[in-house]
């Protein structure tokens, strides 16, 4: 199914545009303009003549030029009429954000709409959804104001969500924390286009390298299974499953009208096809960010470099608990060479390599260089506590340069306040994966090793 018009349309009509800033139709209209959309914006409302210097059309059929996508934001009872007019206008793609269908017990209304759309070969995302967004094309069709929901920078993560509320909150948080996204798709009740269709589209989407998904339930299990299976062979797919409890399953049914089903069945399918399971939304975000920056790990042997002994112990414990990772046994030759260069009896050259609290940037560089040269090491976790006085901001350049070579994955753990945050952000800007806590870094690295092992089968 070709969904290009939902993300790349060159002309978009908004049916239900309003002069009131509080109305959904107005927000959609304004967001599209403020995003810097380069195509034609065509507002529709029978009661308006103009809005923000744009001509407003009484009906979609009054528009003489070609319309590639229609966005519908009017009461549920009027939606079918608007869709029939879209068909008369030869519009094949519609995005319907309107709620008030099967999720509130009006299944007949939705069934009638579904029948019309499918019998007339029309594609539709919705109903009861938040909308869609393509950050590379500046197509912003999310009906929450940009002043309240910050949009992330353009990147390579695409996020599919059945829940608009979860999608919006996570998107806002992601933007504030520097995560970068390609597309956002809230699909609501999945009346015509469902999660499987969207997954299939994202498999071929060149700007998407990582697929994230919040899922409550599906209607067509076999179709979903096949789409996931195909996707996971090509791109990492990270899923958070909602409705895992009996009470949550009931809530999911009343939310989008979909059947959550047995969580064991879902998790069994996920594991079978190689989907990455995130237990919560926070995990989903740092998994996605890790996979967006690091795609490969040769093996599972991890070297730890730290300037804090306690942090080295915690990180070692985390590696030991992981079923996918193990501590690297550093080469004796590399250890001897490093000892000669550092020449400090307090420094521990076993794994973890403890460069101790008086470590400067040069000592970190020596330790990192040794790990990158050691064939016994597949990945490096660097704990850099910036509170110690001898580390300079040059360490950002040192780590970034090694990371740029992409010889081995480098994950940096730094816990702290304002100064730490500034340096972490500098590393992130240079595409280095950073964490506040070592357990999160090891968790993400473990998933990366697991995924690469599955792909090699």
Q: Within the chain, which residue ranges are assigned CATH 3.40.50.720?
A: 1-127
User: What pLDDT digit, counting tens, does each position of 381-406 carry?
Assistant: 999 999 988 999 999 999 999 999 88
Strands 301-306 and 353-354, by their bridges, are parallel
CA distance 32 to 14: 10
CB count within 10 Å of CB 282 equals 13
DSSP state of 56: -
How many angstroms separate the CA atoms of 422 and 21, rounded? 36
Q: Is the dihedral of CA 253, 259, 265, 269 positive or negative?
A: negative
Q: At residue 457, does pLDDT exceed 70?
A: no
Q: How confident is the model at residue 253 (pLDDT cuts 50, 70, 90)?
A: very low
H/E run at residue 305? strand 301-306
Q: For residues 71 and 124, what is the distance between their CA atoms, to the nearest angstrom? A: 10
Residue 44 vs residues 4, 19, 51, 156: alpha-carbon distances, Å: 22, 11, 10, 33
Nearest to 413 by CA among 260, 308, 259, 323: 308
Say which residues have a Cβ less than 8 Å from residue 238's Cβ, sequence separation at least 6. 210, 211, 212, 213, 275, 276, 277, 278, 284, 287, 288, 291
pLDDT of residue 299: 94
pLDDT score, position 263: 77
Supply the DSSP symbol for 61: G
- Write down the pLDDT at residue 248: 44
The proportion of the chain whose per-residue pLDDT surpasses 70, expressed as a percent, equals 95
Cβ-based neighbours of 396, under 8 Å, separated by 6 or more: 423, 426, 427, 430
The domain 149-293 is placed in CATH, from the list 1.10.3720.10, 3.40.50.261, 3.40.50.150, 3.40.140.10, at: 3.40.50.261
pLDDT score recorded for residue 249: 46
How long is the chain?
A: 457
Rg of the Cα atoms in the chain = 25
Q: CATH 3.40.50.261 in the chain, residues?
A: 149-293, 295-456
Which pLDDT does position 406 carry in this prediction?
83
* Reported CATH class of domain 1-127: alpha beta
Q: Respond yes or no on whether the N-terminal peptide bond of residue 127 is cis (omega within 30° of 0).
A: yes
Sequence-separated (6 or more) residues with CB below 8 Å from residue 64: none
Question: What is the average pLDDT across 274-301?
Answer: 94
Instruction: Kindly state the average pLDDT of the residues 335-341.
Output: 94
Q: Which fold has domain 295-456?
A: Rossmann fold (3.40.50)
pLDDT of residue 252: 44
pTM of the model: 0.91
- Closest listed residue to residue 218, CA positions, set 237, 238, 234, 199: 199
User: Would you say 433 and 289 are in contact if contact means Cβ atoms under 8 Å apart?
Assistant: yes
Which of 379, 354, 433, 457 is CA-nearest to residue 178? 433
Tokens for 314, please give them.
């915690």
Q: What is the pLDDT of residue 120?
A: 98
Rounded distance between C-alpha atoms, residue 300 and residue 297, angstroms: 7
Distance CA 394, CA 167 (A): 37
169 φψ region: left (φ > 0), alpha (ψ -120 to 50), beta (else): alpha
Alpha-carbon gap, residue 31 to 150, rounded angstroms: 11
Lookup: tokens for 426: 């500098």
| Cα gap 74→96, rounded to integer Å | 9
DSSP for 296-326?
Answer: --SSSEEEEEES-HHHHHHHHHHHHH-SS-E
| Minimum mean pLDDT range among 166-170, 431-435, 438-442 | 166-170
Residue 3 is classified by DSSP as: -
Rounded average pLDDT over 336-345:
92
Q: Are 73 and 16 spatial neighbours (Cβ–Cβ below 8 Å)?
A: yes
Average pLDDT over residues 13-19: 97
Mean pLDDT of 233-260: 66
Res 99 pLDDT > 70: yes
Work out the pLDDT band at 167, boundaries 50, 70, 90: confident
Residue 63: which of 98, 8, 11 has the closest Cα? 11
């Amino acid at each position: 199914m070709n969904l290009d018009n939902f993300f790349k349309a060159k002309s978009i009509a908004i049916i239900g545009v309003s002069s009131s800033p509080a109305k959904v139709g107005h927000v959609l209209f304004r967001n599209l303009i403020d995003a810097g959309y380069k195509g034609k914006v065509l507002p529709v409302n029978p009661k308006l003549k103009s809005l923000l210097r744009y001509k407003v059309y009484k009906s979609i059929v009054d528009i003489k030029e070609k319309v590639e996508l229609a966005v519908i934001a009017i009461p549920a009872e009027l939606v079918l009429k608007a869709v029939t007019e879209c068909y008369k206008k030869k519009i094949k793609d519609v995005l319907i954000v309107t709620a008030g269908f099967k999720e509130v017990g009006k299944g007949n209304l939705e069934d009638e709409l579904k029948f019309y759309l499918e019998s007339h070969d029309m594609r539709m995302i919705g109903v009861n959804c938040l909308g869609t967004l393509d950050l590379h094309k500046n197509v912003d069709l999310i009906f929450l104001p940009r002043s309240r929901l910050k949009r992330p920078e353009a990147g390579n993560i695409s996020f599919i969500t059945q829940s608009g509320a979860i999608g919006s909150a996570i998107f806002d948080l992601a933007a504030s924390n520097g995560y970068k996204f390609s597309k956002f798709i809230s699909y609501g009740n999945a009346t015509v286009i469902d999660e499987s269709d969207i997954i299939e589209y994202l498999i071929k989407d060149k700007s998407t390298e990582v697929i994230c998904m919040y899922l409550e339930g599906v209607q067509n299990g076999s179709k979903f299974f096949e789409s996931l299976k195909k996707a996971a062979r090509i791109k990492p797919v990270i899923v958070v499953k909602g409705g895992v409890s009996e009470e949550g399953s009931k809530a999911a049914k009343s939310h989008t009208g979909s059947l959550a089903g047995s969580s064991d069945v879902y998790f069994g399918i996920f594991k079978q096809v190689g989907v990455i399971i995130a237990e919560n939304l926070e995990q989903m975000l740092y998994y996605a960010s890790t996979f967006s920056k690091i795609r490969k790990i040769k093996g599972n042997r991890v070297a730890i470099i730290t300037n804090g002994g306690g942090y080295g112990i915690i990180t070692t414990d985390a590696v030991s608990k992981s079923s996918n990772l193990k501590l690297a046994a550093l080469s004796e030759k590399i250890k001897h060479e490093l000892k000669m260069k550092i020449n400090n009896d307090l420094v521990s050259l076993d794994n973890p390599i403890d460069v101790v609290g008086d470590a400067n940037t040069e000592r970190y560089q020596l330790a990192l260089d040794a790990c990158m040269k050691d064939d016994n090491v597949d990945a490096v976790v660097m704990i850099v506590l910036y509170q110690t006085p001898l580390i300079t901001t040059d360490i950002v350049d040192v780590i970034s340069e090694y990371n740029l070579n992409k010889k081995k994955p480098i994950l940096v753990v730094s816990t702290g306040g304002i100064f730490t945050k500034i340096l972490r952000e500098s590393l992130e800007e240079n595409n280095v994966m950073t964490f506040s806590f070592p357990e999160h870094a090891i968790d993400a690295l473990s998933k990366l090793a697991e995924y690469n092992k599955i792909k090699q089968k």
